[in-house]
Chains A and B, each alone.
Chain A
Amino acid sequence: EAGVVQSPRYKIIEKKQPVAFWCNPISGHNTLYWYLQNLGQGPELLIRYENEEAVDDSQLPKDRFSAERLKGVDSTLKIQPAELGDSAVYLCASSLVGPPGELFFGEGSRLTVL
């Protein structure tokens, strides 16, 4: 069974540029999460989707971050414009059941903002 797929794995951009990350969850998983992981820290939830509905986006900095999950499958996380402090790993995860339950993480997208 294919796991959660994310792309790109690595992205280097200059500050003020836009960037987008893509996630394909495990087939059949209705719940999708985007997490932010700073170096040496635990993952922090940015947004959670139940199918195509964002049910928890309280930690998403809405002035520069946006996300969508069209058709309730793939999801895209966008940052525009990027700032130096956005350098981190962006993890996507999915789960078969709504929280609380096992999260299946992708490999992550490592962003470096110069």
Chain B
Amino acid sequence: GENVEQHPSTLSVQEGDSAVIKCTYSDSASNYFPWYKQELGKRPQLIIDIRSNVGEKKDQRIAVTLNKTAKHFSLHITETQPEDSAVYFCAASIRSRGSGNTGKLIFGQGTTLQVKP
């Protein structure tokens, strides 16, 4: 079936350094790629998303890049701060056969980011 692979599973950086999380997807028809942040015991929240008609999107310290040919996309966090510590999930929409499945999100396994002060 369709899947999303996310790497690394854990990432530890010093405050102020950059962090990069990478995901690959299998459905070439995927056209929507969100990133969610989940703090311990809290709900996942959207931090940035990108659609397949653009290659890069930036919002302050976070950016997402998309390579449709290679079917991978990445989250970049610059000038990391301790409050960036959380689990980050990438996701990709899939277009499964059959009605009702268009745009279904498949999530990656998550990356635990630790930012050390």
Contacts and interface: CB of A to CB of B under 8 A. Distances in A.
Contacts of B46: 102-103
Interface residues of A, number: 23
A14 interface: no
Given A42-B89, A99-B102, A99-B103, A105 B109 contact: no
Contact of B104 (A4, A40, A91, A99): A99
B104 A56 contact: yes
Given A43-B89, A44-B107, A56 B42 contact: no
A100 interface: yes
A102 B100 contact: no
Interface string B87-117: 0010101000001111111011110000000
Interface size bracket, B side: 20 to 34
Contacts of A43: 44, 89, 107
A44 B4 CA distance: 12
A48 interface: yes
Interface in A60-114: 91, 98-103, 105-108
Given A44-B107, A102-B49, A91 B43 contact: yes
B107 A42 contact: yes
B45 interface: yes
B103 A42 contact: no
Contact of B110 (A41, A45, A48): A41
Interface string A21-61: 00000000000000000001111110010000001101000
A90 B104 CA distance: 18
Pairs of residues from A and B, 6 with the lowest C-beta to C-beta distance, nearest first: A99-B103, A42-B107, A100-B32, A55-B100, A100-B103, A100-B93
Interface of B: 4, 6, 31-32, 34, 36, 42-46, 49, 89, 91, 93, 99-105, 107-110
